Amino acid sequence: MAFDIDMIKSTYASYKEKVDKARELVGRPLSHSEKILYAHLWDELPNQAFERGKSYVDFAPDRIACQDATAQMALLQFMQAGKKKVAVPTTVHCDHLIQAKVGAEIDLKNALDQSSEVFKFLESVSNKYGIGFWKPGAGIIHQVVLENYAFPGGMMIGTDSHTVNAGGLGMVAIGVGGADAVDVMAGMAWELKWPKLIGVKLTGKMNGWTASKDVILKVADILTVKGGTGAIVEYFGDGAKSISCTGKGTICNMGAEIGATTSTFGYDESMDRYLRATGRAEVADAANEIAEYLTGDQEVYDNPEKYFDQVIEIDLNELKPHLNGPFTPDLGTMVGAEMHQKATENGWPLDIEWGLIGSCTNSSYEDLTRAESIARQAVEKKIKPKAELGINPGSEQIRFTAERDGILNTFENLGALIFTNACGPCIGQWARYNDPKNAPKNTIIHSFNRNFAKRADGNPNTHAFVASPEIVAAMAISGRLDFDPTKDKLINEDGEEVLLDPPVGIELPENGFDVEDAGYQEPVADGSGVEVVVDPASDRLQLLTPFEPITGNVNGAKLLIKAFGKCTTDHISMAGPWLRFRGHLDNISNNMLIGAVNAFNQKTNFVKNQITGEYGAVPDTARAYKAAGVPTVVIGDHNYGEGSSREHAAMEPRHLGVIAVIVKSFARIHETNLKKQGMLGLTFVNENDYDLIQEDDTFNFIDLEDFAPNQPLTVELVHKDGSKDVISLNHTYNENQIEWFRAGSALNLIKQQNS
């Protein structure tokens, strides 16, 4: 079934005219990414050429996707926007609030019991406002989107950073905060700074143990976690065409880990095959009619140095399997000898306790078959796994088909746990039964996208490494981090030496995909009679109170915390058990910055209250300042807010009285989220000024009343001894974004305009 086929055909109908006009204005050939951007301008037909990395541009995305953890706050905000129905096709997917513990059936039942209030809220809001609803157990948002909604040349946004997964089907798909999604739901333009372009030329063809996952693990190692910031990564070349559609999705998915705005591939035969296999032949036929407009111009790919801001070339013939980690997704190591050396030098535990396969990154049919081909060998060759193994299928369609084809049975014969079609351990929803929260150092390996400290199981001592599903399977069977499946032998139950054969995958099921109940619920045609009830006494859901604007030249603001080193959205607003409060701003604010390291004592969740002189938890200290009417400031290092799109990491500080976050540099989504919530996201003009910040500092914003685009702000630091420093701070606010600030939030402005 092809959802929203009329919208897709309408998008394609004007594609040629828009791209041709853009090519004329720019005066040169266009990349695939540029074609999509110019074809989705809010003003319809292009009328000017935009400057990469500088021009703020309004876009008209084709659709929106929200997962249950972020949808709560997004929809609570949309309910205030004064609209009767969403303006573009929108879906909600229940995949984050399901814990992996003992197995799919019991885990799903427990989730339905524990989070019924939230699921009912999301279902009723979806019904009321014309939103498609995917029930708990239907699958992981990005796999479901790839199977049902993504289409070549389209533009979508989603309230999850891994929305970029849809680039595997030729989209420009971008992760955003809920407030951005609300703009588009309300029929307004969506603003984005015109991205720079990074080209990745792929030559050759993968072989042996190398998988599509290794492409992005290598790119992450090259670019680091912030190397893609402000850019779209576009993959091209004969090597790109040799990769399956879901393999392309894997590569695009982890582009979020290098800070990229998104990643994408041009339309090719693998996408045509995937569309037809997933029941969307009508979309494939429509795409084929304008196929040359759904990929980059050949001149761009023949001479990439002329058209991209940066070019990386990877020979797939030479690419080897990688393991990235621990604690960061960009630390790449080749399997085998190199890993043995690094692990020994750094004290990484070599024994693997768990192998986990799944997540939105690697839970397709092809992923499962490649891993199953390794598991089958272990069963047939009588090799007993040394580590535990867990599997999260990507969707009910994949789970049903994999069960039909005997794939899941192979894993079960190996002793693996089959979890629900949901995120599970990837986002901290893992009840690891044999691992207390402060267990000794240990190693796990998974096919997920992120491996920050505490990410999977809440244990800071767990060393998590990212790899392809087949490498995860082989490593779990061997039980060793330094195992090299290309040459190392294993001892089976008969005492024989056994060498594993390279994995064999099936791109698409030979007998087609099948499913009895995919888990989709269509909204009613007229939702005006649907009542959305939020219990005032609920600890899970809370109606929002608009933020008050920050006015005048703010004086007397106190330092709340000076964060040391990496401070991701996991540090600012943890997931795991805190997911249950994602619809209740006041309750979830009790996790604000509890994972951030205080630069003055190297402790987490332990900061000084300048009013009392006592030390306490960050949220408690913030509440004390707020009660006293004292605004606060947060200081951070580079790439502050790296990771998830969760806008709670911006809403919580705003709710607890933080007026400004001042850092060396921001991750893109988090900076936008701060702007949307009507607070200041500022960067040091001189990075060394970070060192001037002292524990008892007071901040006076001297010229905030003159806040204007392209004009730095000045802050006076008053130290405990009475001495002062004056520092200059940059910002990237344009006139519209300053209007958000003046109104108190972007949502406040929408409400004003709608009234």
Contact 360, 246 (CB under 8 A): no
Please indicate whether residue 221 is annotated as part of the active site: no
170 by DSSP, 3-state: which? coil
Q: Active-site residue among 160, 435, 570, 637?
A: 160
Nearest to 540 by CA among 595, 575, 586, 593: 586
Given the residues 32, 40, 63, 96, the one annotated as active site: 96
Residue 596 · residue 602 · CB < 8 Å: no
- Distance between CA atoms of 600 and 310, rounded to whole angstroms? 39
Instruction: Specify the amino acid at residue 257.
Output: E
669 φ, ψ (degrees, to nearest 5): -65, -40
Q: Whose CA is closest to 327, among 580, 95, 642? A: 642
Q: Of residues 359, 478, 589, 644, which has the active-site annotation?
A: 644
Task: Choose, from 32, 370, 623, 646, the residue flagged as catalytic.
Answer: 646
DSSP 546: P
The residues near 403 (Cβ < 8 Å, ≥ 6 apart) are 409
The Cα–Cα gap between 625 and 657 comes to: 8
DSSP 3-state assignment of 588?
Answer: helix
CB contact at 8 A, 493 and 107: no
SS3 content of the chain, % helix, strand, coil (to 5): 35, 20, 45
Instruction: Report yes or no: 466 and 329 within 8 Å, Cβ to Cβ.
Output: yes
Residue whose C-alpha is closest to residue 393's, from 325, 323, 447, 339: 447
Contact 314, 202 (CB under 8 A): yes
Contacts of 11 by beta carbon, 8 Å cutoff, 6+ apart: 39, 62, 153, 154
CA atoms of 26 and 49, how far apart (whole Å): 5
Catalytic residue, chosen from 95, 482, 689, 697, is 95
Instruction: Please list, in sequence order, all residues whose beta carbon lies within 8 angstroms of the beta carbon of residue 369, skipping any fewer than 6 positions away.
Output: 407, 504, 505, 506
CA dihedral 110, 111, 112, 118 (to 10 degrees): 150
Beta bridge partners of 698: 558, 718
What pairs with residue 197 in β-bridges?
Answer: 232
Q: Which residues, in sequence order, are CB contacts of 468 under 8 Å at separation 6+?
A: 211, 212, 213, 214, 321, 362, 370, 447
- The answer to whether residue 96 is catalytic is yes
Distance of CA 750 to the CA centre of its chain: 26
Q: Which residue reads 């204005």 in tokens?
A: 25
Residue the block writes with tokens 């039942």: 109
Cα separation, 394 vs 416, whole angstroms: 16
**Cα separation, 540 vs 585, whole angstroms:** 9
Active site annotation includes 644: yes
CA dist., res. 279 & res. 528, Å (int): 32
Angstrom CA distances, 746 to 57, 305, 348, 753, stand at 17, 39, 46, 11
* Choice among 162, 432, 450, 623 that is catalytic: 450
Give phi and psi for 221, each to the nearest 5.
Answer: -65, -35
User: Looking at this protein, which amino acid is placed at residue 535?
Assistant: D
For tokens 């050396």, name the residue: 341
Is 95 catalytic? The answer is yes
- Give catalytic residue positions: 95-96, 160, 450, 644, 646
